[in-house]
């Protein structure tokens, strides 16, 4: 696994969206996700950035921006999930 992919795969543990609603550190999850999105491989960079945009809007209670980011959100999560399943467990 190349170093940037290793960082992505291990970094997703600290940016786990599944536990975000129970996290006492939403800002920390957002910061981790934003960093991962910036460093993401080109194949999923746009998807990671869309999720980061949505998270930023959610943390700042910007419901208009959240609504805009919802377009494509489900597809982005599916694409990221498929990419991670294919590439992080090699």
pLDDT tens figures, 41-76? 899 999 999 988 888 888 888 888 888 878 888 899
> Is residue 12 situated within a structural domain?
no
Confidence of residue 16 (pLDDT cuts 50, 70, 90): low
What percentage of the chain reaches a pLDDT higher than 90? 13
CA 32 – CA 38 distance, rounded (Å)? 10
Q: Confirm whether 1 is domain-assigned.
A: no
**pLDDT for position 21:** 56
Euclidean distance between CA atoms 55 and 26, whole angstroms: 9
Q: Do the domain assignments include residue 31?
A: yes
The per-residue pLDDT for 6 is: 76
In a domain, 21, yes or no: no
pTM of the model: 0.79
Q: State the greatest distance between any 2 C-alpha atoms of the chain, in Å, as a whole number.
A: 39
Domain ranges, residue 34: 26-87
On whether residue 18 sits in a domain, the answer given is no
Domain count of the fold of the chain? 1
* Spacing of C-alpha 30 from chain mean position: 8
């Amino acid at each position: 696994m190349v170093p940037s992919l290793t960082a992505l795969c291990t970094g997703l543990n600290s940016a786990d969206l599944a536990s975000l609603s129970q996290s006492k550190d939403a800002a920390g999850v957002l910061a981790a996700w934003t960093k991962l999105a910036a460093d993401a491989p080109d194949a999923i960079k746009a998807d990671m950035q869309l999720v980061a945009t949505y998270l930023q809007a959610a943390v700042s209670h910007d419901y208009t921006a959240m609504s805009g980011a919802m377009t494509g959100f489900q597809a982005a999560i599916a694409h990221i999930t498929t990419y991670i399943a294919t590439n992080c467990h090699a």
